[in-house]
């Protein structure tokens, strides 16, 4: 069963500046929820509050009704919430397949003491995890590149590897910050296909910050439009993208 989030009156202040103010919304289970708005609207700050990277000054974050407000980032990750950052976060000097294997290892399995105490057992474990890693490399279309170093991949392929790592970690809810920024239109289409498959085949819940409105129009079930730290308009995707005020403020369409 897909999982969902509810945000209640979230506020985050830096000094006297409120980056996020009184945000109340839902991230719908088993759907793709979009967050759009001009730069500086508070979208990334809001995601950082959800993941525990920032502690809110007001409000609550609820995961399936459980209050997770203010938990440490590692604790929130263990509850099934993962984030894809704007920058590509991979191990560029490792092989592609090893990047995914690392995401499959539990904290205990990653322990250097375990590696030193039983090298051969760890090698066997690594081999077992590699089989599972291949599932996610095939999912994103990188199976043929598994032996390459990650730094040999194109920027778009490195984004795909980031997706494979995120999925291998087993998160139920994915927060994606500008996943299509800076990549070729053909790769954007590939990412759209992956996100649809994650929802329809893997039962994931996705929240996405995106400036590419064609991506939002293609994927999102619900859209929240943010300006100056607040959600000023929300609704079904066609309603929000078709709203005159949204088009004037954000898209520059009169």
The C-alpha angle 11, 77, 194, rounded to 5 degrees, equals: 100
- Mean pLDDT of all residues in 119-142: 80
List the domain boundaries for the chain: 1-80+171-254, 91-170
Long-range (24+ apart) CB contacts under 8 A made by 5-9 are: 5/50, 5/61, 5/62, 5/63, 5/81, 5/173, 5/205, 5/207, 6/61, 6/62, 6/65, 7/46, 7/50, 7/59, 7/60, 7/61, 7/62, 8/59, 8/60, 8/61, 8/62, 9/58, 9/59, 9/60
Report the percentage of the chain scoring pLDDT > 90: 75
Report pLDDT digits (tens) over 44-82. 999 999 999 999 999 999 999 999 999 999 999 999 999
The structure's pTM equals 0.89
Segment 205-253, tens digit of pLDDT = 999 999 999 999 999 999 999 999 999 999 999 999 988 888 877 765 4
Task: Name the percent of the chain lying above pLDDT 70.
Answer: 91
Cα–Cα distance, 38 to 197 (Å, whole number)? 29
Measured on CA atoms in the order 172, 213, 38, 22, is the torsion positive or negative? Answer: negative
pLDDT at 175 over 70: yes
What pLDDT, on the 0 to 100 scale, is given for residue 112?
41
Q: Cα–Cα distance between 61 and 83 in angstroms, integer? A: 16
Above 70 in pLDDT, residue 108?
A: no
Enclosing H/E stretch for 103: helix 96-104
Q: Which two tokens stand for residue 146?
A: 């598994």
Q: Find, among 221, 198, 220, 196, the residue nearest to 210 by Cα.
A: 220
Question: In this structure, how many other beta carbons lie within 10 angstroms of the beta carbon of residue 25?
Answer: 19
Instruction: Please report the pLDDT score of residue 231 as a whole number.
Output: 96
pLDDT at 88: 81
Superfamily grouping for domain 1-80+171-254: P-loop containing nucleotide triphosphate hydrolases (3.40.50.300)
């Amino acid at each position: 069963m897909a999982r969902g989030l509810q945000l209640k009156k979230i506020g985050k202040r830096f000094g006297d500046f409120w980056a996020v103010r009184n945000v109340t919304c839902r991230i719908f289970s088993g759907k793709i929820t979009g967050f759009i708005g001009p730069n500086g609207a508070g979208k990334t700050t809001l995601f950082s509050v959800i993941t525990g990277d920032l502690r809110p000054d007001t409000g609550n974050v609820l995961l399936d009704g459980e209050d997770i407000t203010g938990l440490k980032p590692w604790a929130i990750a263990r509850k099934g919430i993962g984030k894809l950052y704007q920058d590509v976060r991979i191990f560029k000097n490792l092989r592609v397949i090893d990047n995914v294997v690392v995401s499959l290892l539990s904290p205990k399995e990653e322990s250097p003491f375990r590696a030193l105490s039983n090298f051969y057992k760890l090698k066997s474990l690594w081999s077992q995890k590699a089989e599972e890693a291949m599932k996610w490399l095939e999912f994103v279309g990188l199976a043929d590149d598994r032996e390459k170093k990650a730094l040999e991949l194109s920027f778009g392929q490195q984004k795909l590897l980031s997706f494979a790592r995120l999925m291998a970690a087993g998160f139920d809810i994915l927060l994606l910050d500008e996943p299509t920024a800076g990549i070729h239109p053909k790769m954007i289409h590939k990412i759209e296909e992956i996100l649809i498959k994650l929802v329809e085949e893997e039962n994931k819940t996705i929240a996405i910050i995106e400036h590419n409105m064609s991506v939002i129009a293609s994927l999102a079930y619900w859209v929240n439009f943010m300006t100056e730290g607040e959600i000023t308009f929300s609704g079904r995707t066609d309603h929000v993208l078709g709203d005159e005020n949204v088009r004037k403020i954000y898209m520059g369409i009169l």
